[in-house]
Amino acid sequence: MPVTHRPFELVPPCATTDVPALFVKDLSFTYPDGHVALKNVSFCVEHGEKVVLVGPNGAGKSTLILHLNGILQGQKGEIKVYGMEVEKKYLPLIRAQVGLVFQNPDDQLFSPTVFEDVAFGPLHMGLPEDEIHERVGRALQIVGMGLYKERLSHHLSFGEKKRIAIATVLSMQPSILVLDEPSANLDPRARRALINLLGEMNLTLLVSTHDMLMVRECFTRMIVMDDGWIVADGLSEEILSDHRWLAQHGLEVPC
């Protein structure tokens, strides 16, 4: 089911092919302890693209993701979301456009019931009650959890929580969905359901993962990070075919 967009007072150039969905140029970031996490990172994601971000632990993937809606601010470089620079005056609009789903769903689920979790974002957008109910119902339907509204979030399985966490973001009706390790800790059935869900979504996707089988199955374009750098950006099939290069960058060869 396609996700529609509610008009804003300041209308961003969202969901358009005129400008990239994500534009990152020469982004660098150093943590207060001196660790350099990002080193001149540059890439572009077009509207409607589904791109996967891979790399070993400590490569800088999560740090990069946290820059895309302004949770972290780079000391150098440029980030644009549908032409809007990620800066203070645009942050409310950008955070409405870039939906971020964390690796651990418990970081996003904190209300007693599923309905309250999924309704949290629209409620704080000041939407009328009927629209909140409509958005919650649509988001839960998209992730295949339409019958779970009254369920207690903390009673759900890990895979179910992952789906509900995605729904909490979809209820905000973003143009871009960013997921950090979405298949981590899922059993095979839940993992397969997630892969099918990602394939059906009509959104621009940027997914960080170690799941190389999912990469091969779902994503034609791969961005590889290592030690804060982007070391490859190209066709997944070509990158995955170089087993020796993958091993040099701490990546497993998919069977």
Instruction: Report pLDDT digits (tens) over 133-151.
Output: 999 999 999 888 999 999 9
Phi, psi of 130, rounded to the nearest 5 degrees? -65, -35
Instruction: Report pLDDT digits (tens) over 84-135.
Output: 999 988 998 898 899 999 989 998 999 999 999 999 999 988 899 999 999 9
| pLDDT, the chain, mean | 88
Lowest-pLDDT range, 10-19, 107-116, 153-162? 10-19
Strand spans (E) along the chain: 22-30, 36-45, 50-54, 76-81, 84-85, 98-101, 176-180, 204-208, 221-226, 229-235
Q: Which residues of 22-53 are buried (b: 16+ CB within 10 A; e: fewer)?
A: bbbeebebeeeeeeebbbebebebebebbbbb
| Angle in degrees, CA 105, 184, 22, rounded to 5 | 75
Tokens for 97? 């456009």
Taking the C-alpha atoms of residue 248 and residue 99, their distance in angstroms, rounded to an integer, is 32
The answer on pLDDT for 71 being more than 70 is: yes
State residue 196's pLDDT score: 85
pTM given for the model: 0.87
The answer on pLDDT for 195 being more than 70 is: yes
